[in-house]
Amino acid sequence: MFPLGASGLLGWPEKQILENYPNLTQESLRAVYAFAAVTLGDSTFHPFQRKTG
């Protein structure tokens, strides 16, 4: 999983991502951006509770 920042994944510009992850294509990276936009557009909050003990 990659953290998504305002300037792209990992806070890198698209060119730098593609240089560092040569197995990614520009098309696949844009699909990630599209998925993130749809996913982050859902404002539903799903809290996680950690079980202790």
pLDDT at 30: 86
Longest dimension (CA), the chain: 46
d(CA 18, CA 7): 14
Q: Can you give the pTM of this predicted structure?
A: 0.53
pLDDT digits (tens, 9 = 90+) for 1-50: 444 544 555 578 888 888 988 999 999 988 888 887 788 777 666 666 66
- Say if residues 5 and 11 touch (Cβ distance below 8 Å): yes
pLDDT at 8: 54
